[in-house]
Chain A
Amino acid sequence: MSEQILRIEHLVKHFPIRGGFLRRTTGKVYAVNDVSFSIRRGETFGLVGESGSGKSTVGKTVVGLYKPTAGQVMFDGEDVEARKRREPLRFRREVQMVFQDPRSSLNPRRTILSTLSDPLIIHKLAASSAERKKMVAELLVQVEMSSRYMYKHPSALSGGQRQRIAIARTLAVGPRVLVLDEPTSALDVSVQAKIIDLLLELKSERALSYLFITHDLSLVRTISDRTGVMYLGSIFELGKTAPLFSKPMHPYSRTLLDSVPVVSKEEEAVKPAGCAREDSEIPSSSNLPDGCVFHPRCLECTEQCKKVAPALIEVGAERSVRCFRFAERRERDMTQSSHEREGEGDKEEYGDT
């Protein structure tokens, strides 16, 4: 298991909604409900979902910004909360985060030099301000920007350039895992391509592992090794990217893939048929439906789905689905395989699913 650099186990994160004069808790946002997955060393794990799915919350909890309500995040075999208590500053160097909106992730009132020097000062990575300047210049080169940007303010840079600075800031401390929360969603597609190139290059140069959070399915398809599909705080489907995209199982995964606007006929051909009620929308995270949280929109909903929430179960090599339809199938497969073991030569073909 030392192959797994990050392991999220039954993570739960709820936020209280405070209101009223005395700021009582009037409700909760159930952002993340029992999420479990792991990331291997050197892997890019894609976490996809729409708004309210909780994917950003997962990212921020992994990086240590939030404390889990329940469950654990294990980094390199150790619980992150315990690690933060033991060695707060050292932990900060291991896992870093790149945010979505480059406009707000850089302080508009500080120069680039000041922003990039911050991590060096906090972690005492440079002996003098001259050395700091040199290191900042090197960081800029690594993100393919010239050092004359040092004295500029973020407002003088384009979105792509700002995002490069945000990436440089995380690299300054030498992390092993980068959580990327929609790093290119605010950028044009041509700028996005360059930033992704940069990220892939850095990943191979420095042997990083990425948790790539996004709603852009085409992007995830091209760069992640394994993918998790999230909806309203739960992972609905998890597995190796290529098989998941070519044969999605969960109704929500199929709906998601069906909605992607694509640019070529070849891509149209691989899109599955959607499986959601027409014109249905995502409910609020503070008022989750009973049972399976997707049931109000699901075209394959059964009575059981309305009352009981399914568990995430493995349905094949490296694939897990959270859906009763596949629990049945797995039951069938399991009885099928046990039958095959008992009755050799009995070749009963169950219907193709």
Chain B
Amino acid sequence: MLAMRDLRVHFRTYDGLSRVLDGVSLGIAAGERVGLVGETGCGKTVAMKTVMGTLKSPPALFPTGEVLLRGRDVLKMKSREKRALKGTVLSMIYQDPLSALNPVFTIGEQLRDIIHHGGRRSGKKRLPRRHLVEKQERALEAVRLSDTKRILSSYPFQLSGGMRQRALIAMSLINQPELLIADEPGTALDVTVQAQILALLSELVRERGLTLLLISHNLGVIREAVDSLYVMYAGQIVESGSVASVFGKPLHPYTSGLLACVPRLTGEREAGGIPGTIPDYTEAPGGCRFHPRCKHAMAVCCETAPSAVEWASDHEISCHLYERSQGE
């Protein structure tokens, strides 16, 4: 469904050439629920925007790599083609429902615009009003919003956060996309509402056989919402695999460091965090970008970037530590 092969994305900025993504490779098969985990500044937003095709080409540069959506390279598409994909094949759920919804239009009007956009792309004629309203109501019911008439005629600010997020989900699903990208869903919401939204999302994905790419910095959310994940650090994928395997036995020093930092509901916390900070992309460290912060750094880590090695059938790791033991 979606594949990135050795994707590199650079930006021309005031301070120089910012090499954000450095050889990102990932693959999501149809129907899978995959997570992309990384902290702020790791490049996951850039990766997501590349898939969506929303990066402005200067200052963004794509020296190597391809992004294949259903087999076709997004990087080589014209903007018209990319726009056609949005909402129909590919759909996105944004982080903050308040800023993602247009404040001067009602929910009904925004849904209608999206339906028409989808209809235009697939060559269908405009739907008659009756069908339109029916379609809108069904969309809202699918996200478990009752009182649909009131919501359709409401403006975003009149709804609560949870309802806005559900409306947003309804909008992204109405044109029956195949791939759903969810950017930090629920971060702007309270934790009880977040739990509801995540449950809803899981159910909808399962019901409709969608493919889900969930991007988050919250490890708990990832663990509950997806089946497998990619861990990203400073524009490189460092570890990937099934949730059970990666959380059960985190191999990469960054992954294990990250998990250790999370405070536990059972009361333990580990002091220390991960020493250092994320690198400056205009002067990124060579080789493995995590090496300046890594306890186990070796000479080879500064020189060459490790490639992904299969540790188990559902677990891959990009780290020189594991390359050696594999070889032995």
Contacts and interface: CB of A to CB of B under 8 A. Distances in A.
Asked if A and B touch directly (CB within 8 angstroms), the answer is yes
Interface of A: 50-51, 158-160, 188-194, 196-197, 200, 215-219, 221-223, 241-242, 245, 255-264, 266-267, 270-271, 276, 278-279, 281-282, 284
Contact of B224 (A222, A223, A256, A261): A261
A51 B265 contact: no
8 contacts: A188-B40, A190-B39, A190-B258, A191-B273, A193-B269, A261-B221, A263-B219, A263-B223
Identify the 10 closest CB pairs spanning chains A and B, nearest first.
A261-B220, A193-B273, A50-B190, A259-B195, A188-B39, A222-B269, A193-B261, A194-B273, A267-B265, A222-B263
B264 A221 contact: yes
A188 B217 contact: yes
B274 A190 contact: yes
A165 B220 CA distance: 29
B267 A222 contact: yes
Given A189-B217, A241-B267, A282-B190, 20 more contacts: A50-B193, A158-B277, A193-B274, A197-B272, A215-B191, A218-B262, A221-B263, A222-B268, A223-B263, A223-B269, A255-B192, A258-B195, A259-B194, A260-B220, A261-B223, A264-B264, A278-B196, A281-B160, A281-B163, A282-B192
B62 interface: no
B322 interface: no
Nearest to A50: B190
B247 A263 contact: yes
A193 B272 contact: yes
B257 interface: yes
B190 A192 contact: no
* SS class, residues of chain A in contact with chain B: helix
Interface string B26-42: 00000000000001100
B162 A281 contact: yes
B218 A261 contact: yes
Contacts of B76: none
Contacts, number: 127
Contact of B263 (A51, A159, A194, A219): A219
Nearest to A241: B267
Contacts of B162: 279, 281
Interface in B148-167: 160-163
Interface of B: 39-40, 144, 160-163, 190-196, 198, 217-221, 223-224, 247, 257-259, 261-274, 277
Contacts of B272: 193-194, 197
Contacts of B262: 189, 218, 263
A270 B190 contact: no
A165 to B, nearest CB: 15
Nearest to A185: B187
Contacts of B161: 51, 281
Contacts of A264: 247, 264
A270 B264 CA distance: 11
A247 B73 CA distance: 54
Contact of B273 (A197, A262, A266, A271): A197
Contact of A190 (B221, B247, B257, B266): B257
**Which one of B162, B198, B266 has the highest number of Cβ atoms from chain A below 10 Å of its Cβ?**
B266
A190 B261 contact: yes
Contacts of A159: 40
A218 B217 contact: no
Contacts of B266: 221, 266-267, 270
A330 B219 CA distance: 40
Given A259-B195, A261-B224, A276-B192, A245 B39 contact: no
B267 A242 contact: yes
**Which one of B194, B247, B265 has the highest number of Cβ atoms from chain A below 10 Å of its Cβ?**
B265
**Which one of B161, B262, B272 has the highest number of Cβ atoms from chain A below 10 Å of its Cβ?**
B262
Nearest to A160: B277
A197 B221 CA distance: 24
Nearest to A252: B192
